[in-house]
Every structure is written in structure tokens, then in C-alpha cells.
Amino acid sequence: MSDSMLAVVKAAPAPGADVRQVAVPSFGPADVLVKVKVASVCGTDLHIYKWDQWAQGRIHPPLIPGHEFCGHVAAIGSEVTTVKEGDFVSAEMHVACGKCYQCRTGEQHICQNVKIIGVDANGAFAEYVVIPETNIWKLDSSIPEEYASILDPLGNAVHTVLAGEIAGRTIAITGCGPIGLFSIAVARASGATKVFAIDVNEHRRKIAEQMKADFVLDPTTQDAFSIVMDQTNGVGVDVVAEMAGKTDAIRLGFQVLRRGGRMSLLGIPSRPVELNFADDIIFKGALVQGINGRVMYKTWYQMTALVAAGKLDLHPVITDRMAMKNFSQGMERLQTGEASKILLYPNGRM
Amino acid sequence: MSDSMLAVVKAAPAPGADVRQVAVPSFGPADVLVKVKVASVCGTDLHIYKWDQWAQGRIHPPLIPGHEFCGHVAAIGSEVTTVKEGDFVSAEMHVACGKCYQCRTGEQHICQNVKIIGVDANGAFAEYVVIPETNIWKLDSSIPEEYASILDPLGNAVHTVLAGEIAGRTIAITGCGPIGLFSIAVARASGATKVFAIDVNEHRRKIAEQMKADFVLDPTTQDAFSIVMDQTNGVGVDVVAEMAGKTDAIRLGFQVLRRGGRMSLLGIPSRPVELNFADDIIFKGALVQGINGRVMYKTWYQMTALVAAGKLDLHPVITDRMAMKNFSQGMERLQTGEASKILLYPNGRM
Amino acid sequence: MSDSMLAVVKAAPAPGADVRQVAVPSFGPADVLVKVKVASVCGTDLHIYKWDQWAQGRIHPPLIPGHEFCGHVAAIGSEVTTVKEGDFVSAEMHVACGKCYQCRTGEQHICQNVKIIGVDANGAFAEYVVIPETNIWKLDSSIPEEYASILDPLGNAVHTVLAGEIAGRTIAITGCGPIGLFSIAVARASGATKVFAIDVNEHRRKIAEQMKADFVLDPTTQDAFSIVMDQTNGVGVDVVAEMAGKTDAIRLGFQVLRRGGRMSLLGIPSRPVELNFADDIIFKGALVQGINGRVMYKTWYQMTALVAAGKLDLHPVITDRMAMKNFSQGMERLQTGEASKILLYPNGRM
Amino acid sequence: MSDSMLAVVKAAPAPGADVRQVAVPSFGPADVLVKVKVASVCGTDLHIYKWDQWAQGRIHPPLIPGHEFCGHVAAIGSEVTTVKEGDFVSAEMHVACGKCYQCRTGEQHICQNVKIIGVDANGAFAEYVVIPETNIWKLDSSIPEEYASILDPLGNAVHTVLAGEIAGRTIAITGCGPIGLFSIAVARASGATKVFAIDVNEHRRKIAEQMKADFVLDPTTQDAFSIVMDQTNGVGVDVVAEMAGKTDAIRLGFQVLRRGGRMSLLGIPSRPVELNFADDIIFKGALVQGINGRVMYKTWYQMTALVAAGKLDLHPVITDRMAMKNFSQGMERLQTGEASKILLYPNGRM
């Protein structure tokens, strides 16, 4: 193993990022060093790249971003017992403190002191990444590498869709970014009987159709509310998976939700949302869930089982594959709105 | 039985109400005629009296209001089998259609076509009221009449507090109208270990203290957020019961709610609420429940059991008792903010 | 409409049954008269036919059996509003009292006073059957008639499989009679990732393979325990659906259930079961559910949605179709163990 | 600190135990050394003392037993951060592996590889005991020492009673050993409206009355079934907490359980149980839960909150207090059936 490696580096508190040689990271006795095979790009990475308000408040350069990946174990710390060199792995990148109330009661996914690798510490847009053994997720070699690299966002979709009943139920997915698109697959595989995918972006709607949503709706040109109500006998959908993080999408979601239905909110609004609480939540008897990350590690078990059983076809979501050195081109593709999930190959071989 | 009876009548689409003689109502084969012993006044009755915007959109005069009461069965329809003349009863005043999706799946409390007696049909501010047998709730004679007359709002409190875990848990109650005050008693009886009662009104806070809330807070003069956090080791409360229906109270409720906590919303905001969904719901992993009415009839069984077992001391909430003919004086008392629950006696004897 | 109709009649407290002309039944104002298109045979019907101990204690001849069917509305009572002549329907044949604790709390499927049409009152093995409007289940004409006739046992399977999490989960189904076989389809459609079907009968195992169970096991010749444990990384299955009602099957089910897993018991043992409660339930932290009937009407909504969406292929289970007049031949087929679900056609046209 | 300490030692694979001087144990970097203030005796300790069949199969002498205690931190390992010398603590004595499926999904209380301190490793019947930091439970000094020493069995009661709804519900507790007796207090504090305590032993029933169970029944002389049914309007109890581990008690529990009720099984039968699964579980639609240990650490938070709030009066259960050197006398007291919970004082001062 060389002492240096290629990595994407957010070097300064300003827009952009470099791809350059840095030192291979050192690791502790409870850590695992992973040689990254494939990493994938998240909207968060674009926020960091563009250096927007959120990034300015959260990121401390220099930082290697990247929190979606798979690879093989290159080396292990002296206390590590559950994986060995060569194992095929991915990882949960939310590192919980293990000591707060939430961690002590099985809710590490909402830990008060969580650190995210790739956001708060150096991440996976590099040839090597260091992961605590607790957070390593060992994979069977039968799992396709492309899928193994996107388990983080797929886990968001699994967590959201399976946060309540879904079999024999109808679902509206508002927002068809990668997680919304994955949610179509998860809902279908889990027995959802009508899946409504709603997005304002034509490229996203096109992929939603490839994902076999039963109804793909453009709320800017179609009366999405009426179409959903017609298709549900005037009752509304049983479940809404909110993936857009936009006020309009959240409002539409509540409107199409049936009385007593479940609203699972994953998309993060960047500003306060004004909502008619009386009609949309209270009189409706709605159940509203804030969804964060992936349940450790229940979501990972369910997700891996679904992937291993061949229940999910996620290929339409993967629109771009490129060598990691071309990271900036990937950022541009993402900004056009034409790309969905972009895979990066640190060693340049796809 | 006389042919006429005294009743409060909202005679015209304008502020005010009359107390006058009207015909004793006729009833059908599946109905029960109840001679009202005690009725109690709800904030809804004040809306109707003042003829505010909500009332103008919902109420069709002439109407006898009143939806909280107890009394004795005066006569039964030919098909009625579960009660007989003389039985002591109260009633669920939300009459569900029985045929919509929600009714067919055990959620009559959020029926799409609900009619409320006292709002959509003549109610209990009268010597007699007609109730469908399905909605009659038979009471043991050991239940005090005063308590029997307030089961409707007590049921709101029971539904809200018991909509999730409460034993060994902390709870903040935002808004100390009668339902909020009842919630203190229900929470204490159900094992809540710290009850925070929060209200801007001094009279209400005084009663909250009599109800033995562990902490009674005035958010206009105290740093309620810091006090709650200090008392919960910085974690926040496990449960919030939102009874105020005001934006400030809702926001404070979400702020003091711990990660993964339960926010049960019962108070009805009269206008849209602007909230930081990202921090207050999503990252927090909050569970938000819209609470409506009483679960038919689970809430009634639990509530009756709690009352019959002597687990609830509700007396401090009952601030006023008066003959029904003095209804307008009751409305004035309510508007001063000094009265909490007002009991009306149709026959004038208290 | 003729005054008489063909029906299967259990005329006397003895083995056997007649097929003969009887009067078309009269019906009340809240009833629906249905012209039966297809009826299907349940194991219960065989108990009645053979006049075994259970039948002797429960059945009061003369009786027309049959509780699985579909047909079209022939006439409605004067108070019926939700269906009209010609509508395609099936029905929930458990008629709940509506007044007991369970009925009043949304658990009509475990009503204290349930009457079963086809067991306690004349049923569907006839040209016409009378059903209370409350129990009629209206169907879209797109639902295949064959499937519409088996919704009762399919509902048992849906109730059982969906009584907890199933997506991304493994399940063992012990007992592959029709309900066990349907459960394979329901589990697969709902995202179960490994389905183990276990039965001692070769014919049943053959159909289980056609239903695409992932593993079909014969516990008399295979080490079912070891196979299940191997396939679940030594953890055991997440869910067991017990459909056999035999001590050996129940014990095997508990053995293969993982710690913290769900054991859903539907099969009815005819005698007491001896079980190692310490290891199989308590130390294991198992959740054991008694499953009865179909949840009214949640199960019906979910089931209908799954069928209408084309999520279930049930054809392999339907092994025999015959004119109703040949009922006794059907009973013989059932006793050989070669037939699974037998469909009967009252009018002789298949 | 001296190098040696007094301890109860099970020195050989035979009945009895010694109290003698042994070396103060060494501890690792993640461990906490606790100076025991009060320890309490469990039925398990009697099994070990008597060297019965279970003990012979599980215990590997020499062993210091004892798994219920409180004390103060005497020293901490180099990696310990959450407690410091002098802190008042108790501990969860089930040490979970942290790596099995159950541990990885928040169910450490049913860990596949659990080790119990005091059973599988040296325990708390000694002046000092070593506990991993993860398992230490820090206590406020306001918690009474006597209560702090019995949190382990109190936690069993809290886990059992709070494993589902209890407020406004009726409960039968079958078996009034210490955990059954604690369950009376927990149920009352959590809003149970009728508590039936059932035991064959007169001493236990006497304490059950002191714990204020609403009905204390002797099934050998009273018709417990009829009494419970009479007191529940013929419906049966909502919840049964089974604490006896005897076939008769389990059967009675199922008989008095209402349809759709919850049966929480904690008592460990020493041999297989024969039960009428058809009537007692399946037709009844019962929910049966195997209860094991305490949920880590949800149960501990709830239990501590209840104790700190003064919601539980547990004094009647503590029947004996003695210096630890008199351990054998404690064992004899326990065998008479007259003692309930016995507290031991390692330093001899009570």
C-alpha cells in the first residue's frame, strides 16, 4: 500500500473542490481501513461543493467529503474482530456517540452527538477511508458493487417506506430525487398497490416511470390532488413519503393523505414551512413521522435482504459513472438536473 | 312528560342565544331520549354564541347547542336493546356514518361524514336530548354526576395522553384550558413522572397547580424552554400534549420535545402555523399525532375505568355551576378567562 | 326468480349431505340476497360433512353450509343503501354482534357472540344466500370470479402475514393447506425475502413450489430446523405463520423462530399442545399472536388492493372445479389429500 | 483499599456456599469497580445454593453469586468516562455481546450470547464487584439505597407491566414472588384500574394486600376465574402478568384474559406446559409476549423515573435485612416461604 492516495479535497471555505494526492489516513485499534471501490454522490456533496449557507455553517475545511461507498477491507485495527482483510463492505456513516439517551435506548439514528463521516470527518471520496468497526456493514459478494455503493440513500428510502404498513396500501412519493426514486422500488417490492410519484422535474419523472411507479405526476401541469383522489375512491393515499423538502410538496402531500394516514417526512426544507395544522394534521388524525438516517441496524438488515433477494431494480437511478478525478464534472451534471445518482470510481476503472 | 321543555336556542345567524321553551324532540326507533341532568360548556359553545367566523361557516340556526352532558334515559325507540328507562348515561356526540373507509376500519373518530350533536344537530343544552343508541354510554350510578357531564372533554384528554407511552415518562402540556387541565390528572394517574403545565393565563395556571402539575410555567415571564431542559437532564420531554392551538405554544412544544419524542396535537389553530420542520420534526425524529375526538369506544372504556377507580381528581377544573336559564352569564364568565369548566343545570337545581 | 333453488343441505346429525331443491330464503330490510356464482370449499365443510366431534358440538341441522363465495346482488332489503341489484360481491361471513366489548373497540373479528353464515346459519352452497348489508363486500368487476370466491381464506392469509412486519423479513409457513399456500403469495408480494414452506404432504409441497416458496421442506425426511438456521445465518426466521394446527408443526415453528421473532398462530389444534414455554417463548422474547378470521374490514381493503393490483398469483391452489351438484365427489377429493381448493358452481356452468 | 474482601463463594459443585475472604478483583480499562453497599437475594441464588438441576447445568464453581445490588464507584478503568469515583450506582447484570443480530437491532435483552454477572461471572455478594462501564447505571443520591439494590427485579416488573397499554386497564398478576409484588406497585402507579393478585402462598398474599392490590385471590380456595370475570363485566382482564412459571397459573391466566388481551410471560416453567392453544390463544386473539430481563436501557430510564418521582412504595416486599456473613440463614428464610426480598449488607451495617 502506498503512503499517498487520490482524494477529493474541500481545501478552503469557498466554492469548489480539488482532486489531489493526500496521505493515506492512519487508523485506531477499533477502526477499519477500507479501500474504496465505488463511491456515490449525494445532494449534500453538492451543497459542500457550492459552499452554500448550510455548508458554511457545518463544514470545517480541509475535508474529504463522500458518505456513500463500498469497498474492501484493506487493514484492521488490533481490536477488530468482525471483519478481516479483503471483506466486501459498506458502512453506516452516522457515527453515534453510544452514550446519550437516544443511543442508550436503541435510537442511535437520532443520537444527540452524531458525527457524519464525509461531513464532520474525512469521507469516502478517496482511495481509502477509515470507518469504526461498529459502523462497518459486511456484504455478501453477491451484492452488486453499484448497489453496494448506494446503500446509504437506499437505506433512507427503506427507513421511510417501511416506517409503517405498506403492503396492500397506496403511497404518494413527493420528490423524485434518488431517494424518492429508490422509494418507488421499495414500495413496489413491499406490496404497495398504487404508487404515485410526483415531481416538477421532467428528468426525474422520466426515471420514475422507468422505476414503474403506477402514476407519475407533474404538479405544475396536472391536477395531482384530483388524480390521486380519483384513484383512491376519494379517500386519499394511505402513506406519503415526502422527499422534496419543499413547502409546495409538503402541502400537496398532506392534502392527498387520507384521514388517519401516515406522512413520513424525509426531505429537509431549508426554511420554515407554513401549514394548515387544523385540517392537514389534527382533524385528519394524521400520523407524521420525522425520518432521519437509517435505523441502526434494522434498516441495514432489511435493505440487504431486499437487495440480496433481487427484489429491487435500481439501475434507472444510476445515470452517470465517472472516474473520481472528474469530480467537478459530476457536480456540473448534478446542477443541470439531468443526472440522478452519479457513481465515482477512485481508481478510474468502471 | 310535558310536551315542551326549556332549551338554549341559537335562533338566528347573529351573536347571542335565547333560553326559551321549545317542543320536546321526537325520536326514531334506534334512538334514546335522555332527560339532561347536567350539561357542561365547551369553548365551541362560546364560538357559537359569539357567532365568530368558524360558527358562521358551520352552524345552521336554529340550533340547540351543547355536546357535554349526563342524564337519565327518559324513553327508548322500539329497536333499542342496550339501555332502558332510568339508566344513567352520557354519550359520544360525534355520530359517525358507519360506512366510510375510516368507519369500516375502526376509526370512526375520524369519519369522513361525522355529524356532531350540539353542532350539526340539536344538542344537550335542553331538558331533553335525542341520542342514537350506538352513541349512548351507559354509566354506573357510582360515577359522580359532575364528572359524568364532562366525559366528552375528559375523553379528549384521555385520548391525547394515552395515544402512546406515558408511564415513567415526562410530559409537557401546552395550554391549560379544561382539556389541558384534565390532561394533568390523566398523565399523573397514568404514571407520568414529571408534568409540565404551560399557559399564559394566570387563572389557568392557578388551577394547574391545584391539579398538581409538577411544574407550572408562564412562558411570558419564564424561560420555559430552559426550565424543561434543566429538569430533563438536557434531553427534553418524552411527550408533548398540545392543547393551546396557538403558534407560539406549538413551537415551544416542539422545542422542548426530546429527539424521538411524541407530539400529540389536539388544540386547533385558527390559522396556518409556520414551523421549522427540519429541526423540529425531521432531524428530531419526532412522532406527531393529530388527535381528534375520542376513540370509539376504547377511550370511553379507559376513561370510565379511570373515573370509577377514583384515579382522577377533576374538581379544581369545575369553577362554575349555574342554572341553564343563566346561560348568557356563563358565556360572559367564560370570556373573562376566569372560568374554566362551567356546569349548567337545565332544571335549575344544582 | 324461481321460488326454489338447488342447495347442499346437511339434513340430519349424521355423516353426509344432500344436494336438493329448497325454498329461496327470505330476507329482512337490512339484508342482501346474493345469487351465488362460485363457492369454494373449506376444511370446515369437510368437518361438517364427516360429522366429526367438532361438528357434532357446533352444527344444528338442517343447515346449508358454505362460507366462501362470490356472486351478484339479486335483491336488497328496504334499508340497504350501499349496494344495488347486479353488483358483484363477496362477504365477510363472521357476523359480529356489534355490542360486545370487542365490537365496540374495533375488534369485531373476535366478537364474543359471533355467528358464522354457513356454520351457524344457512350459507353459500346454494343458488342464493342472504347476507346482512354490513357484511357485504362490494367488488370491482375486474376481480376474477375465481379469486372473488376465495377471499375468506385469502383474508386469513393476509391477516396472518400482515399482522406485523414482513418486508425485508424471512418467514416460515408451517402447514400448506390453502391458507398456507395463499400465505406464500402474500408474503412474496409483501417483500418477504426468504419464504420457507413446510408440510408433510407431497401434494401440498408440490403446490408450494408452484407458488414459488424459496424453500419447500418435508419435515419427515429433511432436517427442516438445520436448513432454516443455515439459510438465516443461524439467527432463525423473523416470522412464523403457523397454519397446520399440529403440535409437531407448532414446535418446529417455535424452534426456527429467531429471538424476538413473531409467531402468528392460525391453525387450530384439535387438542392441547405441550410446549417448552421457557425456551420457546420466554427466553426467546417471542411475540405470539392468536389470529382469527379477518380484521373487519382492514384485511378486506388490503386483500382487495393486492388482488386488484395483480400482486397475487393464486391459481396453483385451485385444483378442482365442479358443479355444486357433485358436492360429495368434492368431499372425497378433499379426503384423498390431493385436492387443495375446490370451487363449486351452483348453476353447473364453470 | 485492602487486597482482600469478604464474599459469598460457591466453591464446589455441591449444595451450600461459603462466606470467606477472597482477593479483591482486578478490572480492565473499560470496567468499573464498585464497592457494594446493599445486595439483594433472588430466587436464582437459591437455585445455585441448593445446587438443583438448573444450577448443575449452568454454574461453573468457584463462583461469587449475586446480581442485584447498589454501591459506590471505588475505581474506574482508564477508558471510563461516564462515572467517577464515589458515584452511586447499580448495574444491568446481563452483559450483551454487542455483535449479534439482536444486539445490533436494539434488543440486547435477548442477546444470543449474553453473560450474566453473578451467574456466568463473579457477582455482587461481595464487598466489591466489577462491572463493564456500558452496564453501569448511575443513580441520583436521592434514590433510597434499599430500592437501588432491587432495581434488577423491579426492572423485570416494569418491563412486564409496561410491555403494552396499562392505564385504564385491568390486570391479573399470577404469582406473587417479589417480581409479582413489584408488579402490583408498577401497575397501580401506571393507571391500572383493577389489579388482581393471585398466589397459593399465604405469606405472599399478605404482602400483596400490603401492596394494595384491589383483589388478592387464593386459587386453591377461591374461584378465581369467576371472581375476575364478575369484576370485569364478564369480559376478562386486559392484561395478565404471569410471574409464577407454573402450569396451573399459566392456564388460569389465559382463562381470565379477555379476547384480544395481552399475556406477558415472565415466570419460567421448569418443564413443558400443556395448554389449549385453540381456545386460550387462537380463538381468543390473544397477544402473548415472552418477557426477558430489562430492555436496555429503556426499562432503566422508566424505572428510575418512577422511583425518583416517589410513585412506587416497595417496602412491604423487603422482609429481611441481614449481614452478608449470615447468607446461609437467608437461604433458609427463603426456603420457608416466609421471606420475600432479603437484603444483604457486605459490611454488616444495615
Strands (E), B182-225: 194-198, 215-217
Contacts of C233 (CB under 8 A, 6+ apart): D101
What are the angstrom distances between the C-alpha of A266 and each of A110, A263, C251?
13, 10, 42
CB environment D296-316: b (16+ within 10 A), e (fewer): bbbbbbbbbbbbbbebbebeb
Strands (E), B135-225: 136-138, 170-174, 194-198, 215-217
Render pLDDT for A189-229 as a digit per residue (tens, 0 to 9).
Answer: 999 999 999 999 999 999 999 999 999 999 999 999 999 99
Catalytic one among C44, C160, C299, C304?
C44
User: Which residues face B247 on adjacent strands?
Assistant: none
No. of helices (H) and no. of strands (E), chain D: 12, 18
The pLDDT of residue D350: 77
Q: Record the cell numbers describing residue A311, joined without a space.
A: 427484489
pLDDT > 90? residue A291: yes
The pLDDT of residue A47: 96
pLDDT > 80? residue B350: no
pLDDT > 80? residue C1: no
Give the pLDDT mean for B196-223.
98
CA gap A302, C338 in Å, rounded: 37
- Confidence label for C43 from pLDDT (cuts 50, 70 and 90): very high
The pLDDT of residue A348: 86
pLDDT > 80? residue A350: no
- pTM for the model: 0.98
Q: Is C194 on the interface with A (CB under 8 A)?
A: yes
CA of residue D247 relative to chain centroid, distance: 20
The pLDDT of residue A349: 80
CA gap A271, B274 in Å, rounded: 10
pLDDT > 80? residue B1: no
The pLDDT of residue A62: 97
The residues in A 288-327 lying below 8 A from B, measured between CB atoms, are 288-292
Q: Is D96 on the interface with B (CB under 8 A)?
A: no
C98 CA: distance to closest CA in chain A (Å): 23
8 Å CB contact between A6 and A13: no
Q: B164 by DSSP, 3-state: which?
A: coil
pLDDT > 90? residue B348: no
Q: Record the cell numbers describing residue D177, joined without a space.
A: 414472588
* Residues on chain D touching B165 (C-beta within 8 angstroms): 162
Q: Which of C44, C65, C70, C52 has its CA nearest to residue C13?
A: C52
Render pLDDT for D35-55 as a digit per residue (tens, 0 to 9).
Answer: 999 999 999 999 999 999 999
Strands D18-23 and D318-323: unpaired
Q: How many CB pairs under 8 A join A and D?
A: 25
B180 HSE (CA, 13 A, CB side) = 33
- Confidence label for C2 from pLDDT (cuts 50, 70 and 90): confident
User: Which residues face D172 on adjacent strands?
Assistant: D196, D240
CA gap C217, C167 in Å, rounded: 22
Give partners of C (≥3 CB pairs < 8 A): A, B, D
A2 Ramachandran zone, left/alpha/beta (phi>0; psi -120 to 50): beta
Give the pLDDT mean for A80-88.
98
Q: What letter would DSSP give residue C316?
A: G
Q: Is D189 on the interface with B (CB under 8 A)?
A: yes
CB environment B143-162: b (16+ within 10 A), e (fewer): bebbbbbbbbbbbbbbbbbb
| Cβ pair A269:B277 closer than 8 A | yes
| Cβ pair A106:D104 closer than 8 A | no
The percent of residues above 70 in pLDDT, for chain B, comes to 100
pLDDT > 80? residue D232: yes
- Confidence label for B107 from pLDDT (cuts 50, 70 and 90): very high
Chain A residue whose CA is closest to C305: A168
Give the pLDDT mean for B6-13.
98
Render pLDDT for A95-152 as a digit per residue (tens, 0 to 9).
Answer: 999 999 999 999 999 999 999 999 999 999 999 999 999 999 999 999 999 999 999 9
The pLDDT of residue D54: 95
Cα–Cα–Cα angle for A283, A284, A290, nearest 5°?
Answer: 115
Q: Which amino acid makes up residue A118?
A: G
Q: Record the cell numbers describing residue D26, joined without a space.
A: 482486578
CA gap C37, B190 in Å, rounded: 54
Render pLDDT for A13-72 as a digit per residue (tens, 0 to 9).
Answer: 999 999 999 999 999 999 999 999 999 999 999 999 999 999 999 999 999 999 999 999
- Per DSSP, helices labelled H in C59-195 are 101-104, 145-148, 151-161, 178-189
Task: Examine the residue annotation and report whether C109 is marked as an active-site residue of this protein.
Answer: no
Full DSSP string of A183-233: HHHHHHHTT-SEEEEE-S-HHHHHHHHHTT-SEEE-TTTS-HHHHHHHHTT
Q: What is the CA radius of gyration of chain D?
A: 20
| Cβ pair B106:C106 closer than 8 A | yes
pLDDT > 90? residue C246: yes
* Residues on chain C touching A169 (C-beta within 8 angstroms): 302, 305
CA gap A312, C191 in Å, rounded: 10
Render pLDDT for D146-205 as a digit per residue (tens, 0 to 9).
Answer: 999 999 999 999 999 999 999 999 999 999 999 999 999 999 999 999 999 999 999 999
- Confidence label for B24 from pLDDT (cuts 50, 70 and 90): very high
Q: Record the cell numbers describing residue A61, joined without a space.
A: 475545511
- Confidence label for D348 from pLDDT (cuts 50, 70 and 90): confident
Strands (E), chain C: 4-9, 18-23, 31-40, 69-76, 88-91, 94-95, 115-116, 128-132, 136-138, 170-174, 194-198, 215-217, 237-242, 257-265, 273-275, 287-290, 318-323, 341-345
Q: Record the cell numbers describing residue B109, joined without a space.
A: 373518530
Give the pLDDT mean for A257-265.
98
| Cβ pair C167:A308 closer than 8 A | no
pLDDT > 80? residue A287: yes
- Checking ipTM against 0.95, whether it exceeds it is yes
Contacts of A9 (CB under 8 A, 6+ apart): A17, A18, A19, A20, A22, A62, A63, A64
Q: Record the cell numbers describing residue C146, joined without a space.
A: 375465481
Give the pLDDT mean for C50-62.
96
8 Å CB contact between D167 and D121: no
Q: A163 by DSSP, 3-state: which?
A: coil
8 Å CB contact between D337 and D203: yes
CA gap D324, D149 in Å, rounded: 14
Count the Cβ atoms, other than its own, within 10 Å of residue B247. Answer: 16
pLDDT > 90? residue C245: yes
Q: What is the CA radius of gyration of chain A?
A: 20
Chain A residue whose CA is closest to C185: A191
Q: Is C287 on the interface with D (CB under 8 A)?
A: yes
Q: Record the cell numbers describing residue C265, joined without a space.
A: 398462530
CA gap D322, D342 in Å, rounded: 8
| Cβ pair B165:D170 closer than 8 A | no
Q: Which of D10, D278, D262, D274 has its CA nearest to residue D126?
A: D10
CA gap B211, B149 in Å, rounded: 19
Strands (E), chain A: 4-9, 18-23, 31-40, 69-76, 88-91, 94-95, 115-116, 128-132, 136-138, 170-174, 194-198, 215-217, 237-242, 257-265, 273-275, 287-290, 318-323, 341-345
| Cβ pair A168:C191 closer than 8 A | no
User: Which residues face A312 on adjacent strands?
Assistant: none
Render pLDDT for A322-346 as a digit per residue (tens, 0 to 9).
Answer: 999 999 999 999 999 999 999 999 9
8 Å CB contact between A122 and A19: no
Q: H or E stretch including D345?
A: strand D341-345
Render pLDDT for C71-119 as a digit per residue (tens, 0 to 9).
Answer: 999 999 999 999 999 999 999 999 999 999 999 999 999 999 999 999 9
Which residue ranges form the domains of chain D, and what is each CATH number?
A: 4-150+314-345 (3.90.180.10), 157-290 (3.40.50.720)
Q: Which of D57, D41, D55 has its CA nearest to residue D8?
A: D41
Q: Record the cell numbers describing residue D257, joined without a space.
A: 384474559
Give the pLDDT mean for D199-212.
98
